[in-house]
Amino acid sequence: MPRHLIYAANWKLHHGPAAARRYAEKFQELVGPRPGRELWFFPPAVSIAATANAFRGRGDVRIGAQNVSAEPKGAFTGELSIAMIEEVGATAALVGHSERRHVFGETDAETGRKVAALARAGLTPVLCVGEQLTEREAGRTDEVVLRQLAAGLDGLAAEELHRLVIAYEPVWAIGTGRNATPGDAAAVHRVIRRELEIRGARERIPILYGGSVNAGNALALLAEEELDGVLVGGASLDPEVWAAIVGFG
């Protein structure tokens, strides 16, 4: 059976609505649907609707939000609820991305509340986990990843695990030009998969790798059977570069 791969593009603070529409037009000239491949886009919040509309009719494409609140409504200035992102076309959301954790101070407990709220609303939480360089050098990679994973999943019952996607993104490899070797990535993915099985996962939960993925290393990374896809930042911002990368799978 051919592998099912997810190619997820995190645009971060790039591409407003007009740029998102231009991107989608160019990308679709270059890339058509292919069996066994899903294309996920995480634009800035103001571009979710434009991106979803631009890819309307593409069954292989899903649109997600880069962040979301666990609160349904209230006095939370600057936040977006799950119902809001869903209304404009999002069916998934990143949770606990390293920049949310280490730049904006998002806690493990907050990730757990967001994962649970998304899963119960029927959207897909993409829970991001990963260690910093000092933690890796101290031999604490598994400890850190499992702690973050546990906090993200503790609000879920075993039968809700199938709603998840996990993204392993070592913090030291994000935007640095450095990346884990395919073997390094696969080893951590196996640790995550074992924990998911212990928690009662009855089917394979997709685990993506993120961390300076580019056209030069994507093929080698995806050769590892433990990787179910990639979560890509900088290399996904140019539609021609991203088209080349997703064409590898």
Catalytically active residues, by annotation: 97, 169
The answer to whether 100 and 140 have CB atoms below 8 angstroms apart is no
- Between the CA atoms of 169, 173, 175 and 176, what dihedral angle is there, to the nearest 10 degrees? 170
Backbone angles phi, psi at 24, to 5 degrees: -60, -40
CA–CA distance, 185 with 229 (Å, rounded to integer):
12
Burial of 244 (0-12, 13-18, 19+ CB in 10 A): middle
**DSSP per-residue codes, 1-56:** -PPPEEEEEE--S---HHHHHHHHHHHHHH----TTEEEEEE--GGGHHHHHHHTT
CA–CA distance, 121 with 69 (Å, rounded to integer):
12
